[in-house]
Structure 1
Protein backbone atom coordinates (compact mmCIF):
# COMPACT_ATOMS: atom_id res chain seq x y z
CA UNK A 1 0.00 0.00 0.00
CA UNK A 2 2.92 2.36 0.68
CA UNK A 3 4.03 2.13 -2.98
CA UNK A 4 0.62 3.20 -4.30
CA UNK A 5 0.42 5.96 -1.70
CA UNK A 6 3.84 7.22 -2.80
CA UNK A 7 2.68 7.31 -6.41
CA UNK A 8 -0.42 9.30 -5.50
CA UNK A 9 1.59 11.77 -3.43
CA UNK A 10 4.02 12.13 -6.33
CA UNK A 11 1.14 13.00 -8.65
CA UNK A 12 -0.18 15.57 -6.16
CA UNK A 13 3.26 17.13 -5.74
CA UNK A 14 3.79 17.19 -9.51
CA UNK A 15 0.42 18.83 -10.22
CA UNK A 16 0.85 21.35 -7.42
CA UNK A 17 4.39 22.20 -8.47
CA UNK A 18 3.31 22.56 -12.09
CA UNK A 19 0.52 24.98 -11.14
CA UNK A 20 2.87 26.91 -8.86
CA UNK A 21 5.33 27.19 -11.73
CA UNK A 22 2.61 28.67 -13.91
CA UNK A 23 1.76 31.20 -11.21
CA UNK A 24 5.41 32.05 -10.60
CA UNK A 25 5.83 32.98 -14.26
CA UNK A 26 3.43 35.84 -13.55
CA UNK A 27 5.85 37.23 -10.96
CA UNK A 28 7.27 39.59 -13.58
CA UNK A 29 3.93 41.41 -13.65
CA UNK A 30 2.73 40.71 -10.11
CA UNK A 31 5.89 42.10 -8.54
CA UNK A 32 5.39 45.44 -10.28
CA UNK A 33 2.03 45.88 -8.59
CA UNK A 34 2.36 44.22 -5.18
CA UNK A 35 5.99 44.41 -4.13
CA UNK A 36 7.42 47.62 -5.57
CA UNK A 37 5.47 50.56 -4.15
CA UNK A 38 4.13 52.80 -5.35
CA UNK A 39 2.10 51.10 -8.08
CA UNK A 40 2.69 53.77 -10.71
CA UNK A 41 0.71 54.02 -13.94
CA UNK A 42 3.80 52.91 -15.87
CA UNK A 43 4.15 49.73 -13.81
CA UNK A 44 0.43 49.03 -13.95
CA UNK A 45 0.47 49.42 -17.77
CA UNK A 46 3.39 46.99 -18.01
CA UNK A 47 1.50 44.49 -15.84
CA UNK A 48 -1.75 44.99 -17.75
CA UNK A 49 0.09 44.45 -21.04
CA UNK A 50 1.57 41.21 -19.69
CA UNK A 51 -1.86 40.03 -18.48
CA UNK A 52 -3.28 40.88 -21.89
CA UNK A 53 -0.83 38.43 -23.47
CA UNK A 54 -1.79 35.78 -20.89
CA UNK A 55 -5.51 36.39 -21.56
CA UNK A 56 -4.92 35.41 -25.19
CA UNK A 57 -3.37 32.02 -24.36
CA UNK A 58 -4.39 29.38 -26.94
CA UNK A 59 -7.21 27.15 -25.74
CA UNK A 60 -5.07 24.00 -26.03
CA UNK A 61 -2.80 25.22 -23.25
CA UNK A 62 -5.80 26.01 -21.07
CA UNK A 63 -7.04 22.44 -21.50
CA UNK A 64 -3.62 21.13 -20.48
CA UNK A 65 -3.59 23.34 -17.38
CA UNK A 66 -7.14 22.26 -16.48
CA UNK A 67 -6.23 18.59 -16.97
CA UNK A 68 -3.27 18.88 -14.59
CA UNK A 69 -5.31 20.87 -12.02
CA UNK A 70 -8.22 18.42 -12.05
CA UNK A 71 -5.88 15.43 -11.96
CA UNK A 72 -4.10 16.79 -8.89
CA UNK A 73 -7.37 17.48 -7.08
CA UNK A 74 -8.80 14.05 -7.87
CA UNK A 75 -5.59 12.40 -6.68
CA UNK A 76 -5.80 14.19 -3.31
CA UNK A 77 -9.40 12.99 -2.98
CA UNK A 78 -8.25 9.47 -3.86
CA UNK A 79 -5.63 9.65 -1.07
CA UNK A 80 -8.36 10.69 1.38
CA UNK A 81 -10.27 7.52 0.58
CA UNK A 82 -7.84 5.42 2.63
CA UNK A 83 -9.32 6.98 5.78
CA UNK A 84 -6.15 6.83 7.89
CA UNK A 85 -5.69 9.59 10.47
CA UNK A 86 -2.61 10.98 8.70
CA UNK A 87 -4.45 11.03 5.40
CA UNK A 88 -7.42 12.82 6.90
CA UNK A 89 -5.25 15.48 8.50
CA UNK A 90 -2.68 16.10 5.75
CA UNK A 91 -4.84 15.35 2.74
CA UNK A 92 -7.89 17.03 4.25
CA UNK A 93 -5.89 20.23 4.66
CA UNK A 94 -4.37 19.76 1.21
CA UNK A 95 -7.74 19.38 -0.51
CA UNK A 96 -9.05 22.48 1.29
CA UNK A 97 -6.06 24.58 0.16
CA UNK A 98 -6.03 23.06 -3.34
CA UNK A 99 -9.78 23.63 -3.78
CA UNK A 100 -9.41 27.18 -2.43
CA UNK A 101 -6.69 27.95 -4.98
CA UNK A 102 -8.76 26.50 -7.81
CA UNK A 103 -11.86 28.39 -6.67
CA UNK A 104 -9.98 31.70 -6.60
CA UNK A 105 -8.51 30.99 -10.02
CA UNK A 106 -11.80 29.93 -11.62
CA UNK A 107 -14.03 32.55 -9.98
CA UNK A 108 -11.64 35.52 -9.90
CA UNK A 109 -8.62 35.17 -12.17
CA UNK A 110 -10.19 33.67 -15.29
CA UNK A 111 -13.20 36.03 -15.41
CA UNK A 112 -10.92 39.01 -14.73
CA UNK A 113 -8.59 38.04 -17.57
CA UNK A 114 -11.47 37.38 -19.95
CA UNK A 115 -13.35 40.61 -19.23
CA UNK A 116 -10.61 43.15 -18.60
CA UNK A 117 -7.48 42.08 -20.47
CA UNK A 118 -8.48 40.74 -23.88
CA UNK A 119 -8.30 44.29 -25.24
CA UNK A 120 -6.54 47.25 -23.66
CA UNK A 121 -7.17 50.95 -24.24
CA UNK A 122 -4.89 52.60 -26.81
CA UNK A 123 -3.58 55.36 -24.56
CA UNK A 124 -0.81 54.51 -22.11
CA UNK A 125 -0.52 57.91 -20.47
CA UNK A 126 -2.85 57.21 -17.56
CA UNK A 127 -4.30 53.84 -16.67
CA UNK A 128 -8.11 53.88 -16.28
CA UNK A 129 -9.29 53.26 -12.71
CA UNK A 130 -11.23 50.04 -13.54
CA UNK A 131 -8.15 48.58 -15.26
CA UNK A 132 -5.99 49.63 -12.33
CA UNK A 133 -8.30 47.80 -9.90
CA UNK A 134 -8.42 44.74 -12.16
CA UNK A 135 -4.64 44.63 -12.44
CA UNK A 136 -4.16 44.84 -8.67
CA UNK A 137 -6.90 42.26 -8.08
CA UNK A 138 -5.29 39.87 -10.55
CA UNK A 139 -1.89 40.16 -8.88
CA UNK A 140 -3.48 39.65 -5.45
CA UNK A 141 -5.39 36.59 -6.67
CA UNK A 142 -2.18 35.09 -8.06
CA UNK A 143 -0.60 35.60 -4.64
CA UNK A 144 -3.51 33.91 -2.84
CA UNK A 145 -3.32 30.92 -5.21
CA UNK A 146 0.47 30.68 -4.80
CA UNK A 147 0.27 30.71 -1.00
CA UNK A 148 -2.48 28.08 -0.96
CA UNK A 149 -0.57 25.78 -3.31
CA UNK A 150 2.62 26.26 -1.29
CA UNK A 151 0.58 25.13 1.73
CA UNK A 152 -0.38 21.96 -0.17
CA UNK A 153 3.30 21.20 -0.75
CA UNK A 154 4.06 21.85 2.93
CA UNK A 155 1.27 19.51 4.03
CA UNK A 156 2.41 16.79 1.63
CA UNK A 157 5.98 17.16 2.93
CA UNK A 158 4.61 16.92 6.48
CA UNK A 159 2.72 13.77 5.54
CA UNK A 160 5.86 12.23 4.04
CA UNK A 161 7.89 13.13 7.14
CA UNK A 162 5.25 11.73 9.51
CA UNK A 163 4.94 8.49 7.56
CA UNK A 164 8.70 7.97 7.34
CA UNK A 165 9.38 8.77 11.00
CA UNK A 166 6.66 6.40 12.20
CA UNK A 167 7.93 3.54 10.03
CA UNK A 168 9.78 0.99 12.24
CA UNK A 169 12.01 0.03 9.28
CA UNK A 170 13.64 3.53 9.23
Structure 2
Protein backbone atom coordinates (compact mmCIF):
# COMPACT_ATOMS: atom_id res chain seq x y z
CA UNK A 1 0.00 0.00 0.00
CA UNK A 2 1.59 3.24 -1.20
CA UNK A 3 0.26 6.62 -0.14
CA UNK A 4 0.03 9.15 -2.97
CA UNK A 5 0.42 12.62 -1.40
CA UNK A 6 -0.77 14.33 -4.58
CA UNK A 7 -4.10 12.52 -4.77
CA UNK A 8 -7.20 14.00 -3.15
CA UNK A 9 -10.88 13.15 -3.19
CA UNK A 10 -11.25 15.61 -6.09
CA UNK A 11 -8.64 13.87 -8.26
CA UNK A 12 -9.88 12.16 -11.40
CA UNK A 13 -8.22 8.85 -10.56
CA UNK A 14 -9.48 8.81 -6.98
CA UNK A 15 -11.29 5.59 -6.06
CA UNK A 16 -13.75 6.66 -3.41
CA UNK A 17 -17.14 5.64 -2.10
CA UNK A 18 -18.71 5.83 -5.55
CA UNK A 19 -16.21 3.51 -7.24
CA UNK A 20 -16.80 -0.08 -8.29
CA UNK A 21 -14.18 -1.19 -5.74
CA UNK A 22 -16.47 0.04 -2.96
CA UNK A 23 -19.20 -2.20 -4.33
CA UNK A 24 -16.75 -5.12 -4.17
CA UNK A 25 -16.35 -4.36 -0.46
CA UNK A 26 -19.90 -3.57 0.59
CA UNK A 27 -21.42 -6.48 -1.35
CA UNK A 28 -19.54 -9.28 0.47
CA UNK A 29 -19.87 -7.53 3.84
CA UNK A 30 -23.65 -7.27 3.49
CA UNK A 31 -23.76 -10.88 2.29
CA UNK A 32 -21.94 -12.07 5.42
CA UNK A 33 -24.17 -9.95 7.65
CA UNK A 34 -27.15 -11.66 6.03
CA UNK A 35 -25.71 -15.06 6.90
CA UNK A 36 -25.15 -13.95 10.49
CA UNK A 37 -28.69 -12.59 10.67
CA UNK A 38 -30.00 -15.98 9.53
CA UNK A 39 -28.12 -17.55 12.46
CA UNK A 40 -29.48 -15.04 14.98
CA UNK A 41 -32.58 -17.11 15.91
CA UNK A 42 -30.23 -19.91 16.98
CA UNK A 43 -27.79 -17.59 18.78
CA UNK A 44 -30.29 -15.45 20.66
CA UNK A 45 -31.39 -18.00 23.30
CA UNK A 46 -27.77 -18.94 24.00
CA UNK A 47 -26.49 -15.42 24.63
CA UNK A 48 -29.29 -12.93 25.14
CA UNK A 49 -32.33 -14.73 26.51
CA UNK A 50 -32.77 -14.74 30.32
CA UNK A 51 -34.54 -18.09 30.11
CA UNK A 52 -32.50 -21.29 30.42
CA UNK A 53 -31.63 -23.07 27.21
CA UNK A 54 -33.79 -26.13 26.69
CA UNK A 55 -32.42 -29.45 25.40
CA UNK A 56 -34.79 -29.13 22.46
CA UNK A 57 -33.19 -25.88 21.36
CA UNK A 58 -29.70 -27.33 21.71
CA UNK A 59 -30.79 -30.27 19.59
CA UNK A 60 -32.15 -27.89 16.94
CA UNK A 61 -28.86 -25.96 16.86
CA UNK A 62 -26.87 -29.17 16.56
CA UNK A 63 -29.07 -30.31 13.69
CA UNK A 64 -28.56 -26.96 11.99
CA UNK A 65 -24.77 -27.17 12.40
CA UNK A 66 -24.69 -30.76 11.19
CA UNK A 67 -26.60 -29.68 8.09
CA UNK A 68 -24.14 -26.84 7.44
CA UNK A 69 -21.13 -29.09 7.95
CA UNK A 70 -22.52 -31.67 5.52
CA UNK A 71 -23.03 -29.06 2.77
CA UNK A 72 -21.29 -29.76 -0.56
CA UNK A 73 -17.73 -28.39 -0.90
CA UNK A 74 -19.01 -25.99 -3.56
CA UNK A 75 -20.76 -23.97 -0.83
CA UNK A 76 -17.58 -23.33 1.16
CA UNK A 77 -15.64 -22.57 -2.02
CA UNK A 78 -18.20 -19.96 -3.04
CA UNK A 79 -18.01 -18.47 0.44
CA UNK A 80 -14.24 -18.20 0.25
CA UNK A 81 -14.47 -16.69 -3.23
CA UNK A 82 -16.78 -14.00 -1.87
CA UNK A 83 -14.27 -13.31 0.91
CA UNK A 84 -11.57 -12.94 -1.76
CA UNK A 85 -13.77 -10.47 -3.66
CA UNK A 86 -13.81 -8.26 -0.58
CA UNK A 87 -10.02 -8.33 -0.38
CA UNK A 88 -9.84 -7.48 -4.09
CA UNK A 89 -11.96 -4.39 -3.47
CA UNK A 90 -9.70 -3.25 -0.65
CA UNK A 91 -6.49 -3.78 -2.62
CA UNK A 92 -7.98 -1.90 -5.59
CA UNK A 93 -8.88 1.12 -3.48
CA UNK A 94 -5.56 1.10 -1.65
CA UNK A 95 -3.44 1.04 -4.82
CA UNK A 96 -1.78 4.47 -4.92
CA UNK A 97 -4.05 5.44 -2.06
CA UNK A 98 -5.00 8.95 -1.13
CA UNK A 99 -5.15 10.09 2.47
CA UNK A 100 -8.86 9.28 2.53
CA UNK A 101 -8.21 5.77 1.22
CA UNK A 102 -5.43 5.29 3.73
CA UNK A 103 -7.62 6.25 6.69
CA UNK A 104 -11.03 4.83 5.82
CA UNK A 105 -10.15 1.89 3.56
CA UNK A 106 -7.06 1.00 5.58
CA UNK A 107 -9.16 0.86 8.75
CA UNK A 108 -11.83 -1.15 6.94
CA UNK A 109 -9.21 -3.61 5.72
CA UNK A 110 -7.94 -4.06 9.28
CA UNK A 111 -11.46 -4.88 10.49
CA UNK A 112 -11.96 -7.23 7.54
CA UNK A 113 -8.76 -9.08 8.47
CA UNK A 114 -9.97 -9.37 12.06
CA UNK A 115 -13.26 -10.81 10.80
CA UNK A 116 -11.39 -13.34 8.65
CA UNK A 117 -9.28 -14.36 11.65
CA UNK A 118 -12.33 -14.80 13.88
CA UNK A 119 -14.02 -16.83 11.15
CA UNK A 120 -11.07 -19.21 10.81
CA UNK A 121 -10.22 -19.66 14.49
CA UNK A 122 -13.58 -19.32 16.26
CA UNK A 123 -16.11 -20.48 13.67
CA UNK A 124 -14.61 -23.05 11.30
CA UNK A 125 -12.51 -24.94 13.84
CA UNK A 126 -15.17 -25.28 16.59
CA UNK A 127 -17.81 -26.17 14.00
CA UNK A 128 -15.65 -28.96 12.61
CA UNK A 129 -14.91 -30.29 16.10
CA UNK A 130 -18.56 -30.16 17.11
CA UNK A 131 -19.71 -31.75 13.87
CA UNK A 132 -17.26 -34.62 14.35
CA UNK A 133 -18.67 -35.27 17.78
CA UNK A 134 -22.26 -35.07 16.56
CA UNK A 135 -21.55 -37.44 13.69
CA UNK A 136 -20.38 -40.07 16.13
CA UNK A 137 -16.68 -39.88 15.34
CA UNK A 138 -16.06 -39.33 19.06
CA UNK A 139 -18.57 -41.68 20.59
CA UNK A 140 -19.08 -41.33 24.28
CA UNK A 141 -17.41 -37.92 24.45
CA UNK A 142 -19.49 -35.36 26.27
CA UNK A 143 -17.05 -32.50 25.76
CA UNK A 144 -15.51 -30.75 22.79
CA UNK A 145 -11.86 -29.72 22.62
CA UNK A 146 -11.48 -26.03 21.81
CA UNK A 147 -8.04 -24.64 21.04
CA UNK A 148 -7.63 -20.92 21.66
CA UNK A 149 -4.64 -18.74 20.76
CA UNK A 150 -4.19 -17.67 24.39
CA UNK A 151 -5.91 -20.33 26.48
CA UNK A 152 -4.60 -23.34 24.58
CA UNK A 153 -6.60 -26.55 24.49
CA UNK A 154 -9.74 -26.38 26.65
CA UNK A 155 -12.51 -28.92 27.10
CA UNK A 156 -15.97 -27.45 26.65
CA UNK A 157 -19.39 -28.98 27.01
CA UNK A 158 -21.70 -28.98 24.03
CA UNK A 159 -23.63 -25.98 25.32
CA UNK A 160 -20.43 -24.06 26.06
CA UNK A 161 -19.10 -24.83 22.60
CA UNK A 162 -22.33 -23.55 21.07
CA UNK A 163 -22.05 -20.38 23.15
CA UNK A 164 -18.51 -19.81 21.86
CA UNK A 165 -19.77 -20.18 18.31
CA UNK A 166 -22.66 -17.79 18.94
CA UNK A 167 -20.37 -15.23 20.57
CA UNK A 168 -18.08 -15.44 17.54
CA UNK A 169 -21.06 -14.68 15.31
CA UNK A 170 -21.78 -11.59 17.40
CA UNK A 171 -18.16 -10.43 17.18
CA UNK A 172 -18.21 -10.92 13.43
CA UNK A 173 -21.41 -8.89 13.12
CA UNK A 174 -19.96 -5.94 15.07
CA UNK A 175 -16.70 -6.01 13.10
CA UNK A 176 -18.47 -6.13 9.73
CA UNK A 177 -20.80 -3.31 10.76
CA UNK A 178 -17.64 -1.36 11.58
CA UNK A 179 -16.52 -1.82 7.98
CA UNK A 180 -19.81 -0.37 6.75
CA UNK A 181 -19.52 2.54 9.19
CA UNK A 182 -16.05 3.42 7.89
CA UNK A 183 -17.23 3.22 4.29
CA UNK A 184 -20.17 5.47 5.15
CA UNK A 185 -17.76 7.84 6.89
CA UNK A 186 -15.70 8.01 3.72
CA UNK A 187 -18.81 8.90 1.72
CA UNK A 188 -19.71 11.65 4.20
CA UNK A 189 -16.17 13.06 4.16
CA UNK A 190 -16.22 13.18 0.36
CA UNK A 191 -19.63 14.88 0.42
CA UNK A 192 -18.39 17.56 2.80
CA UNK A 193 -15.27 18.14 0.74
CA UNK A 194 -17.33 18.58 -2.43
CA UNK A 195 -19.57 21.05 -0.62
CA UNK A 196 -16.54 22.99 0.61
CA UNK A 197 -15.10 22.99 -2.91
CA UNK A 198 -18.37 24.32 -4.33
CA UNK A 199 -18.41 27.04 -1.67
CA UNK A 200 -14.83 28.06 -2.53
CA UNK A 201 -15.70 28.24 -6.22
CA UNK A 202 -18.81 30.30 -5.47
CA UNK A 203 -16.68 32.78 -3.51
CA UNK A 204 -14.24 32.98 -6.39
CA UNK A 205 -11.33 31.56 -4.42
CA UNK A 206 -8.67 29.72 -6.46
CA UNK A 207 -8.76 25.95 -6.01
CA UNK A 208 -6.23 23.71 -7.73
CA UNK A 209 -7.42 20.28 -8.83
CA UNK A 210 -4.86 18.29 -10.78
CA UNK A 211 -5.74 15.75 -13.43
CA UNK A 212 -4.01 12.44 -13.99
CA UNK A 213 -1.40 13.82 -16.42
CA UNK A 214 -0.57 16.74 -14.15
CA UNK A 215 -0.15 14.44 -11.16
CA UNK A 216 2.19 12.17 -13.11
CA UNK A 217 4.25 15.15 -14.30
CA UNK A 218 4.51 16.45 -10.74
CA UNK A 219 5.65 13.04 -9.51
CA UNK A 220 8.31 12.89 -12.23
CA UNK A 221 9.58 16.36 -11.32
CA UNK A 222 9.72 15.48 -7.63
CA UNK A 223 11.53 12.24 -8.46
CA UNK A 224 14.16 14.13 -10.46
CA UNK A 225 14.62 16.57 -7.59
CA UNK A 226 15.25 13.68 -5.21
CA UNK A 227 17.94 12.38 -7.54
Query: 2:107–2:182: 8 Å Cα contact kept in structure 1?
Result: yes
Provide the C-alpha distance between the structure 2 equivalents of 1:119 and 1:98, rounded to a whole number of angstroms. 31
Identify the residue that residue 148 of structure 1 maps to in structure 2. Answer: 175
Paired residue for 1:29, among 34, 38, 42? 42
In the alignment, is the contact (CA less than 8 A) between 2:24 and 2:88 conserved in 1? no
Deviation at 1:18, TM superposition (A): 0.9
Residues 94, 151 of structure 1: 8 Å contact kept: yes
Q: TM-score, normalised by structure 2?
A: 0.66
Structure 1 position 121, deviation (Å): 7.3
Mind listing any 5+ residue stretches in structure 2 that lack a counterpart? 1-11, 137-141, 144-155, 200-227
SS in structure 1 of the partner of residue 102 of structure 2? helix
Taking a change above 3 Å as real, the CA distance of residues 159 and 4 of structure 1, as seen in their structure-2 partners, is: closer
Aligned length: 166
> Contact 1:11 / 1:72 at 8 angstroms: preserved in 2?
yes
Assess, with a 3 A threshold, how the Cα gap between structure 1 residues 158 and 142 changes in structure 2: closer, same or farther: same
- What's the RMSD between the two structures over aligned residues? 2.2
Q: 2:189 is matched with which residue?
A: 162
TM-score by length of 1: 0.87
C-alpha change, 1:2 and 1:161, in structure 2 (3 Å) is farther
Aligned to 2:146: none
Residue number in structure 2 paired with 1:138 = 165
Partner of residue 70, structure 2 = 56
The question of whether the paired residues in 2 share the 8 Å contact of 1:32 and 1:44 is answered with: no
In 2, the alpha carbon distance for the partners of 1:86 and 1:106 equals 30
SS in 1 for 2:50: coil
- How far apart, in 1, do the equivalents of 2:53 and 2:129 lie? 22
Distance 1:15 1:28, change over 3 A: same
Q: Distance in 2 between matches of 1:163 and 1:136?
A: 41
CA contact (8 A) 2:104 2:185 kept: yes
CA–CA distance in structure 2, aligned partners of residues 169 and 111 of structure 1 = 53
| Bigger mean CA deviation after superposition, 40-49 or 61-70 | 40-49
Superposed counterparts of 1:1-170, under 5 Å:
1=12, 5=16, 6-42=19-55, 43-120=57-134, 130-167=157-194, 168=197
Over 6 Å off, 4+ runs: none
